[in-house]
Copies of this chain bind each other. A is one copy, B any other.
């Protein structure tokens, strides 16, 4: 199994753990060459910079385990060096505030994904928990064009249906839904309709399957085979080269963090989001995906539902790697 593991690059399309040497070592044990990590939920630009500073310290302290990731080439370099390349993203456009000029600044600082909205209405687009979805805003269209220009990927994981379809249509470059599942399998505001998934696939976009229990059939009790059968059905809808994994692993986070993710500073009340008053915290992860050492389980599960070795390699990393290669450089130079 270990030898097979190293035949393909392994990339996780989203994590937000309470980072530590333990987790970085588990990434290495799981053979992860790259992880897209969240560095902002509701942070302003200035607050996001403080999060970057924390990562800079980790890069310095744990230079044997992790390194900054900026391009597909960095994923290959990380593999050669035996490290995990860390790519930054925002789950909300809050770090660009009301200033389109911050798009390029954030890209220069290493951001490679930005969600246009997080559950709520933003200056750019609508979130999946709003009652109404008027689609992309005026600023939203301008910011997408600027993101396209510099190589900052549009991510619509937490956005509403119409806004998502309009983003796919308006963006000159393929977009990502880094962490969500099809609603045909688990109906949830955060999961995506067949319409969205088909439009995403046809535009050469990419979906990262989430392992966060609220996005799974039967929640924390979801079985590996149910998950992998869902992957197979989605591959038929989108193509096996347009899908990957975005685990949404929030390992070791205290429940105060899920409250921050849900309420930020937009309300003074409690909002339970996908949780409830009786279960307000992080749900337990499925038994077969507790942390980064459990990636081989997914590999086994995907083979068991009939995917070829090449297809599994694609889903576990090569599809993300191709997407990274095509997405992170300036638009004038699509293959930097």
A residues within 8 Å of B by Cβ?
45-46, 49-50, 52-53, 56-57, 99, 101-102, 104-105, 108-110
Contacts and interface: CB of A to CB of B under 8 A. Distances in A.
A109 B105 CA distance: 7
A87 to B, nearest CB: 15
A311 B57 CA distance: 43
Given A108-B109, A109-B109, A102 B45 contact: no
A49 B45 contact: yes
Copies of this chain present? 2
A46 to B, nearest CB: 6
A53 B53 CA distance: 21
A43 to B, nearest CB: 14
Contact of A56 (B50, B56, B105): B105
Contacts of A50: 101
B105 A108 contact: no
Contact of A110 (B52, B53, B102, B108): B108
Instruction: Give the 6 A-B CB pairs with smallest separation, nearest first.
Output: A53-B101, A56-B104, A46-B46, A108-B109, A49-B105, A52-B105
Contact of A45 (B46, B56, B104, B110): B46
A180 B56 CA distance: 35
Contacts of A105: 49, 52-53, 56, 109
Given A45-B49, A56-B101, A108-B109, 5 more contacts: A49-B105, A53-B102, A53-B105, A56-B104, A108-B110
Nearest to A63: B332
Nearest to A56: B104
A56 B49 CA distance: 19
A104 to B, nearest CB: 5
A198 B57 CA distance: 37
21 contacts: A45-B46, A45-B49, A46-B46, A49-B102, A49-B105, A50-B101, A52-B105, A53-B99, A53-B101, A53-B102, A53-B104, A53-B105, A56-B101, A56-B104, A56-B105, A57-B101, A105-B109, A108-B108, A108-B109, A108-B110, A109-B109
A62 to B, nearest CB: 15
A336 to B, nearest CB: 14
A52 B108 CA distance: 11
Contacts of A110: 108
A19 to B, nearest CB: 16
A105 B45 CA distance: 13
A202 to B, nearest CB: 31
A75 B57 CA distance: 30
Nearest to A57: B101
A31 B50 CA distance: 40
A275 B45 CA distance: 38
A63 to B, nearest CB: 9
A110 B105 CA distance: 10
Nearest to A54: B101
Contacts of A52: 105
